[in-house]
Structure 1
Amino acid sequence: MGQTMGLDSADAVLVDADSISAFEKIQADLLDEYRQDHTYPWIIGYSGGKDSTLVTHLAFEMLMRLPPSERRRPVHIVANDTLVESPLVVQHIIDSTNEIQNAAEAFGLPVITKITRPSPEQSFWVNLIGRGYPSPNRSFRWCTDRMKILPTSRYIKSLADTAGQVILLLGVRRSESATRAASVGRYDNGERLNKHNDLQGCMVFRPIVELDTDDVWEFLALNEPPWGGSHLKLIRLYREASGGECPVVTSKDDAPSCGSTSSRFGCWTCTVVEKDRSLEGFVEYGYTEFGPLLDFRDWLVSIRNDKERRQARRRDGRITITDGGTFVPGPFTLQTRSEVLERLRDLEKETGQVLITQEEIDLIHEIWSAEIGTYANARPMSVREIKKDK
């Protein structure tokens, strides 16, 4: 490779011939696939990070080079907002998708941007404060499916049902990690398109799968986005957080990337990681207003396994004892849930940020009321009803 990119030296990057030829091949593949004799929509999984930004850049550029008569296939650029994203990151996603949409309309490109979000009934706070789900960890990561996979998968499925098939472009690369390489290899059929392992009618296209990290940074540093502006804001975001984005997740095989041990942009409430190094990076860089968010997140971690804060029964009314004889506590007690909500509202006042919606609060109170009524009518349990966790 040419000179390795330091995030502080974006203007001092050299790109060698191998890198140039790699991008020429990617651009040729994109063009060839777009010109196939069908009009199945493209969906670009966009997280706002470097890899998905590169795929979006290349696809947008390809559309601009085509004559209007050949721009027959719609391209959906789909991001996800879990509603508890790191504030700077979600603002970057909103700003960049707005820029892309505005430019697409100005150039007459068939580009549609979409930000998917979980339904209020499945939001982080409704599940944790309302239903009492304990703070997510590696063994009970209830958040990924509800907040990331389902909203985006629902959008993809709706397009596939209408068009008959869709092509999902993902910015995954083999060199990201051994886990990613294994995941790519597991579903690689040797062809350009691979069937999605969960979504029917969805083919997956990984145009930058063979690039390494230096390739990505070099391109973004030397090429301004075709929708205007520059990639320097993205580069600064990485530098300030020393992080990487939580990718768009459309299947459980991708889920380990969410809340991994590496420092990634993601939910500020994420308790799957031991430390939120990206948010810590923002605070250390001068965004001190995020310090209270870190403290609150650490408190959620600290109360998770406090048995005094957990109910004996699970939400279905049963008691769980493993085959080894270990008692597994149920959800947070109503008292603890009430305390979490009170502290969250205080955090809103302290930071001046809206962290929970009124709709979520109303749903939480409805769940509490129903639960109180259920417990009031609860009957004693027999030993036969004790649930064994296999």
Structure 2
Amino acid sequence: MADLERIRREIADEYAAPHNHPWVIGFSGGKDSTLVAHLVFEFLLSIPRSRRTRHVHIVSNDTLVESPLVINHLRQVAADIREAAEVFGLPMSVAITSPEPDKSFWVNLIGRGYPPPNRTFRWCTDRMKIQPTSKYIKSQASVTGQVILLLGVRRNESATRASTVARYDNGERLNRHNDLVECMVFRPIVEMSTKEVWEVLAMNDPPWGGSHGHLIKLYSDATGGECPVMTQKNEVAACGTSSSRFGCWTCTVVDKDRSLEGFVESGFAEFGPLLDLRDWIASIRNDASRRMARRRTGQVTITTDGVFVPGPFTPLARREILDRLLKTQEEVGYPLITDEELDLIRTIWAEDAIVISTAAARELVPHRF
């Protein structure tokens, strides 16, 4: 495959550039980022130790509400890469970032009463995906002055992706990152087709061992794509679209979670309760009886068209959501919310009970969970 050889040469040429800026691979665990990690790992193995002068970071993001099969796959591959890199003595680090507990999905939804995200109020992506990964990238850039971010984006992924790629093409191999000043972006597989990506993965075992069989089966079972690693706000529109469906199981930006439905239809009936909870949360979003009149700032919002915009969920609605979440947690048999998140929710509820002078709010805090 001529394109593959060209990509390998570009990776080699860029790695040999006369500076010590580390590489950071944005790794979502999906097919495209897996191929980038595969090619870079393979390249490092192909050169002598004396030429492995550039450190490579593989960084993933766990929003804490990832689709269970996908996050388990990502963690396993990350562990395999980390172990193999140590065995081969490669200058490689593997990290999985997560949002700060105060910015997690459940703390915002249940604690503060934020309505579930939709296309016009997508409060989740920046807090849960962009900020944790950007923080990691900035920490590496602070050491050497700059980093090279390798992304598995491709021009023909979708019309939206093609437009984004075209907007930032500068005729050079590296493009300046839109939000991170000390970061240049390298997109080695940008011109590859989906068919070519799958051909490479199917015909070549990963250089860290094992096979790509589990990844291929994930896509087959879910009939979907992955939500990519996010590092800039102009990528937010790609999160929760019909073309990128491996993401948060709580995502209400899409009308239907096709990937989770696909897993259930493929025999993973244990994920049915997650799907039910997600659909119920989406269904109550615009229920006026469950929403407060004022925002958390105390303001009443009316648009220029005279449309009243309700505030957060009422205290009782938040209690109702938490009860359903804990019941679902019992059904699936594994944690869906952490103790730290529960403690933060208690704290927020206690603070709100002081501010919101209603009987419902006063009854909220003594309730134990």
| Same fold, judged at TM 0.5 (above) | yes
The equivalent of 1:297 in structure 2 is 278
The equivalent of 2:106 in structure 1 is 125
Distance 2:243 2:181 in 1: 31
The answer to whether the 8 A contact 2:238-2:244 is kept is no
Alignment match of 1:188 (pick from 136, 150, 169): 169
For the residue of structure 1 that corresponds to 2:156, the secondary structure is helix
Q: TM-score, with normalisation over the residues of structure 1? A: 0.91
Q: String of CA shifts for 1:261-286, please: whole Å, max 9, x gaps.
A: 23511100000000000000000000
Amino acid at match of 1:252: K
- List structure 1 runs of 4+ shifted beyond 6 angstroms: none
CA drift at 1:376: 3.4
Alignment match of 1:320 (pick from 301, 322, 334): 301
Distance 1:249 1:262 in 2: 15
Amino acid at match of 1:158: S
Distance 1:35 1:264 in 2: 36
Q: String of CA shifts for 1:101-133, please: whole Å, max 9, x gaps.
A: 000000000110000000000000000000000
Alignment match of 2:340 (pick from 319, 337, 359): 359
Q: In the alignment, is residue 40 of structure 1 matched against residue 21 of structure 2?
A: yes
CA drift at 1:163: 1.1
Amino acid at match of 1:312: A
Distance 2:18 2:305 in 1: 59
Distance 1:285 1:307 in 2: 37
Amino acid at match of 2:343: D
CA drift at 1:147: 0.3
Distance 2:75 2:158 in 1: 28
For the residue of structure 1 that corresponds to 2:275, the secondary structure is helix
Q: In the alignment, is residue 257 of structure 1 matched against residue 238 of structure 2?
A: yes
Q: In the alignment, is residue 151 of structure 1 matched against residue 132 of structure 2?
A: yes
The equivalent of 1:170 in structure 2 is 151
The answer to whether the 8 A contact 2:62-2:98 is kept is yes
Q: String of CA shifts for 1:132-188, please: whole Å, max 9, x gaps.
A: 000110000000000000000010011111110000000000010111011011111
Distance 1:214 1:232 in 2: 16
CA drift at 1:355: 0.3
Structure 1 stretches lacking a partner, 5+ long: 1-19, 378-390
The answer to whether the 8 A contact 2:32-2:153 is kept is yes
Distance 2:252 2:210 in 1: 35
Q: CA RMSD in A?
A: 0.9
Amino acid at match of 1:113: V
Alignment of 1:96-111 (within 5 A): 96-111=77-92
Distance 2:48 2:333 in 1: 48
Q: TM-score, with normalisation over the residues of structure 2? A: 0.96
Aligned residue pairs, count:
358
Amino acid at match of 1:144: T
Alignment of 1:198-277 (within 5 A): 198-262=179-243, 264-277=245-258
The answer to whether the 8 A contact 2:99-2:129 is kept is yes
Q: String of CA shifts for 1:35-85, please: whole Å, max 9, x gaps.
A: 111110000000000000000000000000110011011100011000000
Larger CA deviation: 222-231 vs 366-375:
366-375
Alignment match of 1:342 (pick from 315, 318, 323): 323
Q: String of CA shifts for 1:187-218, please: whole Å, max 9, x gaps.
A: 11100000001001100000000000010000
Q: In the alignment, is residue 21 of structure 1 matched against residue 2 of structure 2?
A: yes
Structure 2 stretches lacking a partner, 5+ long: 359-369
Larger CA deviation: 334-343 vs 255-264:
255-264
The answer to whether the 8 A contact 2:249-2:274 is kept is yes
Distance 1:261 1:246 in 2: 10
For the residue of structure 2 that corresponds to 1:244, the secondary structure is coil
Alignment of 1:12-91 (within 5 A): 20-91=1-72
Amino acid at match of 1:193: L
The equivalent of 1:139 in structure 2 is 120
CA drift at 1:243: 0.8
